[in-house]
Chain A
Amino acid sequence: MTTITTPISDTELMALESAKVVDARGSACPGPLLEAKKAMNSVQIGQVIEIWSTDPGTKSDIGAWSGKVGHTYLGYLPGEGYERVFVVRQK
């Protein structure tokens, strides 16, 4: 997969097939971030993980963390009272 350095469009996000969904709803920082890190081991490089979170800080946490450790943050979509945050495993 080519390296994406900015979040992709909502249409592209909606078309993604996530290899794993991490339901971290009800959990607050640092919970969703730790769950995301843990989930990385359960997908292959190049696959998408989707993190569901009720904490609005999660998307910026995942964005910052991805940049620092080398995964690709794709963006987020709104769900019903939560957000779906998308990230690609790159290593």
Chain B
Amino acid sequence: MSQSLSIVLFSGTADKLHAAATLAAGAAVMDRPVNILLQYWALDAFRSDRLDVNHGLAWDAMADGASRPVKGTAAIPWLETFRMAKELGAISILACSGSLDVLGIDSTALDPIVDDSGGIAAFLLAAEDGQILFI
């Protein structure tokens, strides 16, 4: 069986969400199981009432002379990429219960693309035989 790819997704800016979605999508269509753990600001981005807001860019974008997203930040298709990837491959998206608690988010407030909420052990067990990245 193909080696799984697990991503601890902490960042909530559009660029990092898009980067994570691209990794997840690529792995999924290469038949690698993908596990994503949403923490903090990534978790916050998956709230149903916040999906469409402009999630902005990482601080790196503030550097002098940094390139700007040609079509604007709001057009970065992070969510669309996650959705399509989930349709095409085995991607499990877990909301970190610790982050839900710290941020006071109820799991029912999350978009249905999030499969479940769980703790760190559940995620690490699922991630055991593959690679783990932190974004």
Contacts and interface: CB of A to CB of B under 8 A. Distances in A.
Nearest to A68: B30
Interface of B is mostly: helix
B85 interface: yes
B31 A34 contact: no
B88 A34 contact: yes
A33 B31 contact: no
A34 B22 CA distance: 10
A65 B22 contact: no
Contact of B31 (A30, A38, A69): A69
Interface in A1-60: 29-30, 33-34, 37-38
A41 to B, nearest CB: 10
Interface of A is mostly: helix
A30 B25 contact: yes
A38 to B, nearest CB: 6
Contacts of B22: 29-30
Contact of B84 (A29, A34, A68): A34
B30 A30 contact: no
A64 B32 CA distance: 14
Best-buried of A29, A33, A37, A38 by chain B (most CB within 10 Å) = A37
Best-buried of B25, B29, B88 by chain A (most CB within 10 Å) = B29
Interface string A59-75: 00000110011000000
B30 A34 contact: no
Interface of A: 29-30, 33-34, 37-38, 64-65, 68-69
Counting from the closest, the 6 A-B pairs by CB-CB distance are A30-B25, A37-B29, A68-B30, A34-B84, A37-B88, A30-B22
7 contacts: A29-B22, A33-B25, A34-B25, A34-B84, A34-B85, A37-B88, A69-B29
